[in-house]
Chains A and B, each alone.
Chain A
Amino acid sequence: MPVSLLEVDAVAARISSNSWAAGAPASGGGSSACSSSPGFSGPLAHFVKPLEELLDMFTGDPGAVYQVSASWEQSTGNIADINSRMTALANEVSGQLQGAAAEALETALRLVAEGAHSSSNWTKAVSQALQVCVTIFESVRSLVCEAFQLLSEFAGTIKDVIFGSWPWELDKKADAIKEFADDVQRFVDACSAAGENAMKAARELVRLVTDLYRAIVPFNSEIEDLIGIVVSLVPGGTPPGLPGGKGDGPFGDQYDPSREPYPGSDLEFEKDYDLGYQHEYDLGATDLTTAELNAMFRDQFGHLFVPSRVGDNTQLNMQLTAEGQTINTSLFGLDIPEVTAGEIYVQQIEDDGFVIAASPGHPEYPGEVAFRITNEGGNAKLEVTGVYNDTILGKHDLGADVNTNGAYAIISDKSIWADMSGRIKDKLNYG
């Protein structure tokens, strides 16, 4: 078994154990479900506002989670059969064939068997954990709904006192309102505690899922290396392309990055940072000069610069025009201020690229990113260098002493800049 598989399987087992959910509200605890407050009249409405906010926070789409995760899980059933077939075949090869070719074939069959077995376990672990997580969130929603139901009944009984008593019976009205407010506060405290525990479990799950992500990447890398070896032995094959990582670390992650990310270029960072990443992408053959490539990118900025694609599409036709220009950004298509969304500004524009910096409130603040697009011997190349003191993952890891830079370097590569390089490539190919 490849060494990296053992580590990935161990993380998947921790996800499957559901230990991350310890302390979260019991799943299925609530029986009622609602998506809005039943409505409270007059002075009572003010008191239930915290509960309404809690309800908004925990009202999602559990059906969508079940549907997608079930389709993921189904794939695990299909690939589980591969394990037994490939293992049986490897045993046959081992028993009946001899020599270097037979040994190589047996090794390959066992790797495919173990890889398929492990991948199906990872998928199952993640799918089922997400289903447990959404059930926990639903429990919080049910709890809030039950609180609303009880408060609504209570509000009905005191309505007569508040609205039916004589206007001068102020003490009577005040006592009724106070009693209601005290009851609401008890519900708010209970529901908030349940909500906090649910979020704690969710954060723990996300941390494990991030660990799983980080552990799978070396496995992929091992397989790619093996493919390269097999391909080199088979006539007519083409070795796979290089991944995007270019920094010192295995995933393009950098430590104490230089202020001058691209030697020979005028592009530079204004401040020193502890961490960073550097990726490069081959954009294919082009007859545009470096200056023309960058002019095209600035002109088509709204379509090509992936983080600027905020939900309302208001920045789709944006052009990169001047230093000091501000841009709203969101990562992973999510608009969560300070977590995945925030504002950036253009710090420097040169003929071969530009530098942007995060504004306060942006998840990568303080931090800067330098983009460079060049023509090197008729081939266009995109380079992206990000620098910061902590990653988005590190800021939300509840103080755990974990180096998240490698994982963030991968996430930035796979989910943002590889996507952007693909868009630029398409633009160069198809106009």
Chain B
Amino acid sequence: MAGADKIVQSSEELVTAERDLESAARTLTTASSSLESSIPADAFGTMGGFIAAAGNQVAAVIGEALNSLATYAETTAKGTAETRTEFERIEQEAVARFRKIESDSH
């Protein structure tokens, strides 16, 4: 495979990664918000209030984990976009140099 082809294909891989990471971030954020609903304190009767409290607390911290993962996915998508832009710049520069070499050799 020619070097130029490899660069172009790599760039497409990065576009896919960027798009899928953004999509994952959205799904994780939605899932996190569904964990915000809480079990009423009296749902387990007067003796079981501590169960509802514990369940709600752990749901909240899982929600935080999902939010953190969403932020991580989103930030990585942004970083991937930056990397892709840089790849594209290098790619264009390489193509221009190839053309110059070709025209010089003729």
Q: Which residues of A contact B (CB under 8 A)?
A: 56-62, 64-65, 68-69, 71-72, 74-76, 78-79, 81-82, 85-86, 89, 92-93, 96-97, 101, 104-105, 108-109, 111-112, 115-116, 119, 122-123, 126, 130, 133-134, 137, 141, 195, 199, 202, 205-206, 209-210, 212-213, 216-217, 219-220, 223-224, 226-227, 230-231, 233-235, 237, 240, 332-334, 336, 339-340, 396, 411, 414-415
Contacts and interface: CB of A to CB of B under 8 A. Distances in A.
A86 B20 contact: yes
Contacts of A134: 43-44
A68 B49 CA distance: 15
B105 interface: no
Question: Top 6 nearest A-B pairs by Cβ distance?
Answer: A75-B31, A60-B45, A223-B68, A75-B34, A108-B76, A57-B47
A339 B49 CA distance: 10
A61 B46 CA distance: 11
Interface string B77-90: 01110110000000
Interface in B51-67: 51-62, 64-66
Counting chain A CB atoms within 10 Å of each CB, the highest count among B24, B30, B56 belongs to B24
B40 A61 contact: yes
A58 B68 contact: no
Nearest to A106: B17
Contacts of B76: 105, 108-109, 112, 230
Interface of B: 9-10, 13-14, 16-17, 20-21, 24, 27-28, 30-32, 34-35, 37-62, 64-66, 68-69, 71-73, 75-76, 78-80, 82-83
Contacts of A79: 27-28, 31, 66
B86 to A, nearest CB: 9
B65 A86 contact: no
Contact of B54 (A56, A74, A210): A210
Nearest to A341: B49
A58 B59 contact: no
A85 B16 CA distance: 11
Contacts of A60: 42-45, 48
A29 B83 CA distance: 61
Name the residue in B24, B52, B55, B58 with the highest tally of chain A Cβ atoms < 10 Å from its Cβ.
B58
B44 A202 contact: yes
Contacts of B62: 119, 122-123, 126, 216
A334 B43 CA distance: 12
A231 B75 contact: yes
Given A60-B45, A137-B44, 16 more contacts: A58-B45, A60-B48, A75-B34, A93-B13, A104-B79, A108-B76, A109-B21, A116-B24, A122-B62, A126-B59, A137-B45, A202-B48, A216-B62, A227-B68, A340-B53, A415-B57
A58 B48 CA distance: 8
B45 A57 contact: yes
A110 to B, nearest CB: 11
A89 B17 contact: yes
B82 A71 contact: no
A235 B65 contact: no
A116 B28 contact: yes
A89 B16 contact: yes
A414 B61 contact: yes
Contacts of B10: 96-97
Contacts of A220: 61, 64-65, 68
A199 B69 CA distance: 35
Nearest to A210: B54
Contacts of B71: 223, 227, 240
Contact of A65 (B43, B49, B79): B43
Given A115-B69, A213-B58, A414-B61, A93 B46 contact: no
Nearest to B82: A234
B46 A57 contact: yes
Contacts of B73: 108, 112
Contacts of A96: 9-10, 13
15 contacts: A58-B47, A60-B45, A64-B43, A69-B39, A75-B32, A85-B24, A97-B10, A104-B79, A116-B24, A119-B65, A230-B75, A234-B79, A332-B41, A334-B53, A336-B49
B10 to A, nearest CB: 5
A234 B75 contact: yes
Nearest to A123: B62
Contacts of A205: 51, 54
Nearest to A332: B53
B65 A334 contact: no
A230 B34 CA distance: 27
B61 A64 contact: no
B82 to A, nearest CB: 6
